Amino acid sequence: MINNFLILLIFFYKKIISPWLPRSCRFYPTCSSYALESLKKYGPWKGSYLSLKRILRCHPGNPGGYDPLP
């Protein structure tokens, strides 16, 4: 139930909010795609933890690049 809600929030962000913002993710896959994959693979708790860690690494001081799920 929680997992489905979190996935719905990310889907809403990707389809409604993200198109209005400039592209800024330094990683591949994008942070929102990474979050979706992590929630589907690991569930709401570990998936949210991994997603938050990834989002906190997404800043101008980090070169980014390919960063798959563990």
User: Residue 52: its pLDDT value, please?
Assistant: 94
User: Residue 41: its pLDDT value, please?
Assistant: 94
Residue 15 belongs to what domain range?
Answer: 2-66
pLDDT band at 1 (very low <50, low <70, confident <90, very high): confident
| pTM for the whole structure | 0.85
How many independent structural domains does the chain possess? 1
At 17-69, the pLDDT tens digits run 888 888 778 888 888 899 999 999 999 999 999 999 998 888 888 888 898 99
User: Residue 48: its pLDDT value, please?
Assistant: 93
CA distance 27 to 13: 17
Closest CA to 70 of 50, 48, 44: 50
Bridge-based pairing of strands 65-66 and 27-28 is parallel
